Structure 1
């Protein structure tokens, strides 16, 4: 095996171990952190696999399993990072289960009498991997514009472009080179690329932005919230004169119903207030405490909806009419936002507030 390939692979593995140690120390209690640790562990096992000579079938399976789980871990991590508390869809576990079972069967079961079945399982495994990676990239791209946490926006972009793109290329190349000879230098080039990505991850985690991942990840759920005192609220950062003026403009605009504009984005709001988008984004996030622009809009929209649903003078109005009046495009996102606030649907809320 080429010495430069071994060198770069070993370097990448050492850097991944360092990054994983940092993650284990700080983020092992958070679901998103655990999925990220699993993803990096899978990449580590993938890089080490060609250097090892595992003979026992069970050892081979256990060592290969983290690698098989990388696409699923990427999707689950992306969902945890970007979903703002939404539960992972139940149907998503079906392709995840298939993405584990099919490659495990293709890689580790004996098909001496049925080679066609082995070929079919191997071919089927590739679109499953690509589909899960694509689903993770969609999660990272979804609602990117409305994300108010600047560190998380940068992390989304890096994961989307660098990590997601890297995995798509690797899976596609693996499939291609299983039927054609691998050109000289490709394994070394891959090891070098893995080293550069691992170095960039360590540099970001340990030096450039050691707190950025903590700011990006959702807070870890408390097992016994009644026994854990709430942490004191961090004071809002002081505002300069321009920021204070912009905050007053923003609050006045919202009081006048600016949130009712259908499909309002933070870019459009910044144009309406004649402000820079990144300044407005930072103001709503750091001073008002919102992590997502839609969450900020929903505060105003659900407040108005709650008042109108409890108003006897508007009892004749359909729920859909109220949802459209306050800026929603359809009933489904309104129902979801309303239920997150009141733990009941708008119809149930109206029935409680206006008993017959």
Structure 2
């Protein structure tokens, strides 16, 4: 192993360990924080492995396991970061399980395998790992424009552009050079990129925006004992212009502005003749919503609940009501309604309008 790789990988590991310590101290109680710590530990192990003597048996598996889990942990972290109101999909555990199984079979199978079988499992593991990272990047990209938390929007962009792309490049390079000589300089270049990313992450977490991760993650009250919970942040005082804008927004929404199908925050800002970033701040900081769709759902589900409980509208199909209040289809309406009432629209109507 070249001295250049040892130097840059050592620096990257030190910086990543510092970042993992910071996340552990502040966010270890959160599931998202724990998955992020696992990602950081996995990257540290990945950079250390080429500097160690060949490891076999249980020790080899234990050293490689954090590396194997990085793509899954990355997807789980992005889901908790961006889809805080939705449970992780059950089907997601299938590709995660396959990725882990294929990776272990490729390098740490308890049963001796032939070279051809190892190559098959290796290619399958690379394919599933790329798929998990791709799903994580899709999660980061999904509903990006609906996100009202400015720090989280920045974090999404950083993860999407830098970390996600880096992981895709690394796994693609592994596949490309798995059965051919690695050109001189490639390992050192890889370590240099890792150290630069690690340095940027530490500067961002520790100096430029130390509260960014905390602002981005939703922290349930149950995760922190009441006596340790910090006091709620004071709501910024509205100036006269903001008060007028807030009154205009509330009047527009109460008159049915939320019924526009596929309404975006940019379109709403145009309807109110205001700037998009000012409207984001108003809804997030003064009304307490972290996602624009969550804000719209508050009005839409209120109207749907009233109409489903109205005997005069009992003849209307649920789909008709969903389309009337701004949903494109029944599925997102059902999901939003169930999050509010813990029952489907049909079950709610049955309870409110017994035969």
Give the TM interval when normalised to the shorter protein: over 0.9
Are residues 332 and 113 of structure 1, via their aligned partners in 2, closer, same or farther at CA, if it must alter by over 3 Å?
closer
**Greater CA drift, 92-101 or 53-62:** 53-62
Correspondence 1:278 to 2:277: yes
Paired residues for 1:232-311 under 5 Å: 233-311=232-310
Are residues 224 and 48 of structure 1, via their aligned partners in 2, closer, same or farther at CA, if it must alter by over 3 Å?
closer
Alpha carbons 2:29, 2:223 under 8 Å: kept: no
Q: What's the CA shift for 1:340? A: 1.1
CA distance, structure 1, for counterparts of residue 183 and residue 159 of structure 2 = 28
Q: Partner residue of 2:213?
A: 213
Q: What's the CA shift for 1:312? A: 1.8
Alpha carbons 2:72, 2:96 under 8 Å: kept: yes
Q: What's the CA shift for 1:215? A: 0.7
CA distance, structure 1, for counterparts of residue 292 and residue 344 of structure 2 = 22
What do residues 76-105 of structure 1 show as CA deviations (whole Å, max 9, x unaligned)? 001110112211111111110111111111
What do residues 175-199 of structure 1 show as CA deviations (whole Å, max 9, x unaligned)? 1012332221111111110000001
Q: Which runs of 4+ in 1 moved over 4 A?
A: 110-113, 227-233
TM-score, length basis structure 2: 0.96
Q: Partner residue of 2:70?
A: 70
Alpha carbons 1:111, 1:117 under 8 Å: kept: no
Alpha carbons 2:133, 2:168 under 8 Å: kept: yes
Q: What's the CA shift for 1:320? A: 1.2
Q: Which runs of 5+ in 2 are unaligned?
A: none
Correspondence 1:314 to 2:313: yes
CA distance, structure 2, for counterparts of residue 201 and residue 266 of structure 1 = 30
Alpha carbons 1:38, 1:73 under 8 Å: kept: yes
What do residues 19-74 of structure 1 show as CA deviations (whole Å, max 9, x unaligned)? 01101111111000000000000000000001111545211110010001000011
Q: Partner residue of 2:22?
A: 22
Q: What's the CA shift for 1:230? A: 8.5
Q: Partner residue of 1:343?
A: 342
Alpha carbons 1:31, 1:220 under 8 Å: kept: no
Q: Which runs of 5+ in 1 are unaligned?
A: none
CA distance, structure 1, for counterparts of residue 229 and residue 320 of structure 2 = 39
Q: Partner residue of 2:37?
A: 37
CA distance, structure 2, for counterparts of residue 59 and residue 221 of structure 1 = 39
Secondary structure of residue in 2 paired with 1:69: helix
CA distance, structure 2, for counterparts of residue 31 and residue 320 of structure 1 = 36
Corresponding pairs, count: 355
CA distance, structure 1, for counterparts of residue 349 and residue 310 of structure 2 = 9
TM-score, length basis structure 1: 0.95
Q: What's the CA shift for 1:233? A: 4.7
CA distance, structure 1, for counterparts of residue 214 and residue 257 of structure 2 = 32
Q: Partner residue of 1:334?
A: 333
